Every structure is written in structure tokens, then in C-alpha cells.
Amino acid sequence: MDFVIPNLRHLRVFLEVAEQKSISKAAPRVFLSQPAITQALARLEDMLQTELFERRAEGMYPTASGDVWYNRVERCISCLLQGTREALRSGSSRTQSAQQMVSLLTTTQLKALVAVTEAENFSIASRAVGVSQSSLHRAARELEHLLQVPLFEKTSTGISATKAAQALARATKLAFSELYQGYSEVSALQFREVGKIVLGSMPLARTSILPEAIIRFSERHPDIDIQVVDAPYDDLLHHLRHGDLDFLIGALRFPPPADDVLQEELLSPPLAIICRPAHPLLITASGDVALPTLNDLPRYPWVVPREGTPTRKAFEALFEQHDIKPPQRLVETSSQILIRELLRGSDRLTLISTHQIEHELNTGLLSVLPVTLEHTRRAIGITLRQNWQATPSQMQFLDILREQAAACRDL
């Protein structure tokens, strides 16, 4: 995406002109001359490759693109205002309000804040954003002086971000995300599909829902890139809440993990105990069909997800509810490939959704152990930021996910 975060002053100029419907009326409110405002608007229009205002005799009126951009810029500034309020709470002596502070922030300062907060090292951060270390250090310290709040503290390994820095950095990333969203929406109005969808994926969705959804969406929107991020749930949730991800798809958590996220259930497939086709619990030594029970399961080694995951909790509950001593010889992994190969090459067992290993079951690589399980359904769905506003293309992708989930439920 060839989009660079604009100068924040230009964004404030745009909002003021849109609200006043006049450059002359906006000028004293933003402390700029009319030629300077005209130049700022021209730069924004050049960046977005579209006209943002319709110039009429009675004033300046936003175009369709201008309305879309206004919404996103307003949301951007709102994020910064909230983040600034949170950052200022730790200050002891401030004379200006959060609203006044936001009007003084610069894009350069905020980019420096995010880079240093994430890297916790000025040298690494400077390489990440492509500026000199001295320039980055100066921008970060200017911001610290402006807010009159400590942002960074020295540690034995480098520096660490204070709570104020973390709050404002998170708000900044959410604010910048709004501008990227706006650029995509404005481009779509000009029949230019740009941007990408960045989603976090967990195992339960990778084989049953997500692949087909991506194929269908890409057929309709070939110019929209899709980036799928695979990581532990806690990491994905962190990146979702900081604006790095648009949404998550996979197993839901109950209760919801944070107050600022929403969960939408798509389907609830049951879990099953899986093993290799010639497992002793399937076939006896004489060749007869075995009739395994829950009491037989602890005698064999298992492959399980790490502690704290919903499937691991279901695994532990399986034995606790029936007062059975749980298996002890465990391998912990979330890698489906590793799980498959460990099952195929040994007598290990695992607890997993049949949707997740549909291919392996259909081809006879693995088998379902005929043991009745109760209350082991796993809710699969979408996790979103509470105040997230999807672009039309993102909404279409979510609709395709919902349609694919409905198709899986009907199987």
C-alpha cells in the first residue's frame, strides 16, 4: 500500500474546513493563512488521488470521498484524544487539556513513540523506521517534554516504556489504522482496490473455514492482499487490540478475554479422540474390533495443546469429571503437522475437532476413537475490536466467512 500517514496538522485543517465549510472561517481556528490551508488540502487530495471538496459559491462541501475521509480522520483524532487522556493521568503538573495536547502532536513524534515502545531500544527503533537514532531520540524526547509525563525509563537491558507511553502508543496505532482504512475506502470509491486484510488465525479455522473463504474472496477482489498471521492466542489478541490485526478467526474464549473485544460464534463442532488406524484401542490383538472406554485412555501417551487453551481445558475436564487419573506422558504442541505425524508413528492419542483433520480422516491417515464424549463442543468464531469499523471489502470477507461456516454446519 503506497500510503504514508499524513501530517496531523493537515488532518486537523481538513476537519476544520469540512466543519466550517469555508477556508476563510477555518484559518483563524487553525492559526494558518488561507494559502497555507489551500496548500495543505491540495497535499491531502494528491495523496488520496481524489478531490475531497466541491468548491461552490456558498462554500466548501465534502465530496463522497471527503465524507468517507472525514469519518476516518475524526475516528483517528478520537483515538489520539483518548490515548492522550490516558497518558496524562500519570502526570503531576499539567496546564493544558488533552484536547490542547492533541492539537500539538506531530506524526513524527507519534511514529517515534510507537517504534521505541515496541523495540525498547533507540538503535533498533531507528532502523525500523528508517531515520537516524539522534532524530528518533529527539522526537521522542520532544513528545515527553510536551506531555510533561515520563515515557521511557532506563533498565539494565535498555529502556522500557511507561504506562503512559504504552497507552499513547496503542492509541496511535489504532489512530493510524483508521487512516489506512480510510485510504482503502476512498480508493475503492475511485474504482481502485488497494490495501490488505490482516487477520489472526487459530488452528480450528485453518482447515474448515478459512481456506475456502480466502479463495472465494480473492476471486472477487484479486487486488486486495490477505495476510494471515499464525501465533499463540495471547499474541494475536494483543495485536488485535493494538490495531495490527483486523480480526481473529478461530476458537472463542469464555468469558471474553477483554472488555474492548467482541466475539461472534460461527459454529461449534464437537471434539473427538483421534489415533492411528491400527491403534490397539481400535483393534485387539486377535483382530477384533475393540470397545474402548474412558478408563483405557490414561494408559497411552497423548499429544495436547499448551495449558490454558480451550482444548487443553476440555482434555483435563474429560478425566476430572469422571474422577479418572489423567494421562502423564504428554507432548504439548499446536502444530497440526506434528500432531498428525506423532499419531501416525505411535500409539499416542489427541483430542481435536474433526473439522480440523477432515482430510486425514477422509484419506484414512487417522481414525476417530469410538469413545462417547460429553460437553466437548468448541465454539469457533470471529473476534473483533469493539469499536472497529470495517471497510466494505472487509465486511464482504466477514460475510463470506459466515457463509462458509453455515456450509460447514450443514455437512
Q: What is the pLDDT of residues 86-97, one digit of tens each?
A: 999 876 555 678
> What pLDDT shows up at residue 151?
94
CA distance 249 to 209: 9
Average pLDDT estimate for 279-290? 79
Residue 128 burial by Cβ neighbours in a 10 Å radius (0-12, 13-18, 19+): middle
* Grid cell digits, residue 119: 523495540
pLDDT digits (tens, 9 = 90+) for 161-199: 999 999 999 999 999 999 999 999 999 999 888 889 999
- CB atoms closer than 10 angstroms to residue 316: 14
Return the bridge partners of 330, or none: 302
Longest dimension (CA), the chain: 95
Task: Identify the band that residue 349 occupies on the pLDDT scale cut at 50, 70 and 90.
Answer: very high
Q: Report the alpha-carbon distance of residue 193 to residue 184 in Å, rounded.
A: 7
Residue 375 has pLDDT above 60, yes or no: yes
If pLDDT is split at 50, 70 and 90, which confidence band does 101 have?
Answer: very high
To the nearest whole number, what is the mean pLDDT of the chain? 92
pLDDT at 62: 97
Tell me the pLDDT band of 340, cut-offs 50, 70 and 90. Answer: very high
**CATH topology assigned to domain 195-268+379-409:** D-Maltodextrin-Binding Protein; domain 2 (3.40.190)
Kindly report the pTM of this predicted structure.
Answer: 0.88
Report the alpha-carbon distance of residue 388 to residue 402 in Å, rounded: 18
What integer pLDDT is reported at residue 286 of this predicted model?
Answer: 64
For the 271-368 domain, the top CATH level (class) is alpha beta
- At residue 287, the pLDDT reads 67
Contact between residue 274 and residue 343 where contact means Cβ atoms under 8 Å apart: yes
Write the pLDDT tens digit of every residue in 295-310.
999 999 999 999 988 8
pLDDT in tens, 204-258: 666 668 999 999 999 999 999 999 999 889 999 999 999 999 999 988 998 999 9
CATH number attached to the domain at 8-170: 1.10.10.10
Q: In CATH terms, are 8-170 and 271-368 the same topology?
A: no
Domains of the chain, residue spans: 8-170, 195-268+379-409, 271-368
HEC sequence for 38-92: HHHHHHHHHHHCCCCEEEECCEEEECHHHHHHHHHHHHHHHHHHHHHHHHHCCCC
Residue 285 pLDDT class (50, 70, 90 cuts): low
Query: For residues 331 and 335, which has the higher predicted lDDT (pLDDT)?
Result: 331
Work out the percent of the chain whose per-residue pLDDT is above 70: 96
Give CA–CA dist 263/255, Å, rounded: 10
pLDDT for 128: 86
Q: Annotate 21-59 with b (16+ C-beta within 10 A) or e (fewer).
A: eebeebbeebebeeeebeebbeebbebbebebbeeeeee
